[in-house]
Amino acid sequence: PGIYVCAKCGHELFSSRAKYEHSSPWPAFTETVHQDSVAKREERPGALKVSCGKCGNGLGHEFLNDGPKRGQSRF
């Protein structure tokens, strides 16, 4: 339990309260801790490239409408 932070700069990214089980081997989250926790840019339709909102460290993707509930995204 707690807050997941950027490995490079320590910026707060995700809360364990937003973590859920997903079939991917990586941790999955429904939302960020703060509005500026991450920066996003479209990589392809339905998927955004996600990086740390403070230092730009690559974090993976946000998959739109692929969360545990209809309309939620998955980080």
Q: Which of 52, 67, 69, 68 is CA-nearest to residue 7?
A: 52
For residue 8, being part of any structural domain is answered with yes
For residue 69, being part of any structural domain is answered with no
For residue 48, being part of any structural domain is answered with yes
Q: How confident is the model at residue 1 (pLDDT cuts 50, 70, 90)?
A: confident
Cβ atoms of 40 and 32 within 8 Å: the answer is: no
Is the pLDDT confidence value at 24 over 90?
no
Rounded mean pLDDT of the chain? 95
Domain membership of residue 28 as a residue range? 3-63
User: Could you count the other beta carbons within 10 Å of the beta carbon of residue 54?
Assistant: 18
Q: Which of 22, 31, 56, 28 is CA-nearest to residue 41?
A: 56
For residue 20, being part of any structural domain is answered with yes
For residue 19, being part of any structural domain is answered with yes
Element (H, E) at 4: strand 3-5
For residue 73, being part of any structural domain is answered with no
For residue 71, being part of any structural domain is answered with no
pTM above threshold 0.85 = yes
Q: How confident is the model at residue 10 (pLDDT cuts 50, 70, 90)?
A: very high
Q: How confident is the model at residue 19 (pLDDT cuts 50, 70, 90)?
A: very high
